[in-house]
A and B are shown apart, each in its own frame.
Chain A
């Protein structure tokens, strides 16, 4: 009997120890389905998992300047999809992303990227006005537009659903995910930008991933 209690408490103790050490080293998962590749390294066969990444892109931003993946080189960034006169989920999503912007303002390792899905109306000057009114006064948060095919195409890569749909308020249907992309262009987290708990988690997870790319 004593032995069992002893063993149990030891396991518990070890478990706690392991967990606490695991916690400080917590890493964000890599999202998406990996493809497995076999490579030869020093004459030995090793197995490598290749995760989906965000492909190259080129979009016009709020200052009428083309930005590409190079803008986000060596940075962790949070991406989402919205449109300026969206009456439904976007205001909440942007209010929440603004919390992250304010928390990491002037941190050169963190950036934000909002894609407009209203390719007809959201021209650069409209995006600029929107950014100004939201209180964005540096280039850390990029607002971009592009052709329908390009924007809707890349939204799939971010695992965000977007669709032109006349039957929903505002004319566009989309999900309000805030997605973390790492400097290797992999997806590391997706959070519902309209849910307070998930937004709190996003802020915590940004600290975790900043630690990984210190």
Chain B
């Protein structure tokens, strides 16, 4: 019993340590968003975009293009909710394949998952707020 308890604590410390050492620039709240976002990512995005955001061939683009993520930061919520189509250039490669959106995600879910991809695959250090997502979704084309 005690043994189980101790290993539990130890794993927790290790996990926290790991999290913070890799991303020591992130605030606790950003970390929380990213952690919840990771679960949503695995569930809704990983099949196409890969566990490390590496994409798949020329079918599914990687999510590791910092420049793309920064320049299109305002469009990301619309991409996640409504999908996208048409030619885009990511990491210097052309992609042209429709992405279906995930309309079932709530606004806060969108904030979580975007925080995850932009902090873990990109180099952003801030999180998306729910208000920001609502604002972005008003301007979807």
Contacts and interface: CB of A to CB of B under 8 A. Distances in A.
B122 interface: no
Interface in A153-195: 169, 194
B121 interface: no
A134 B59 contact: yes
Interface stretch (A56-64, A72-80, A90-98, A103-111): A90-98
Interface stretch (A10-18, A36-44, A81-89): A81-89
Contacts of B47: 87-92, 194
- Interface residue tally on A, bucketed by range: 10 to 19
B100 A132 contact: no
Contacts of B57: 98, 133-135
Interface string B41-52: 000001110100
A131 to B, nearest CB: 10
A94 B56 contact: yes
Nearest to A169: B100
Contacts of A91: 47-48, 56, 59-60
Interface residues of B, number: 12
A194 B59 CA distance: 18
A130 interface: yes
Nearest to B59: A133
B97 interface: yes
Contacts of A90: 47
Nearest to B99: A87
Query: Most chain-A Cβ atoms within 10 A of its Cβ — which of B57, B97, B98?
Result: B57
B93 to A, nearest CB: 10
Given A88-B47, A91-B48, A92-B47, A134 B56 contact: yes
Contacts of A169: 100
B58 interface: yes
A-B CB proximity, top 8 nearest = A133-B58, A135-B57, A133-B59, A91-B47, A92-B47, A134-B57, A91-B48, A87-B100
Interface of A: 85, 87-92, 94-95, 98, 130, 132-135, 169, 194
8 contacts: A85-B98, A87-B48, A87-B100, A91-B60, A92-B47, A98-B56, A133-B57, A133-B58
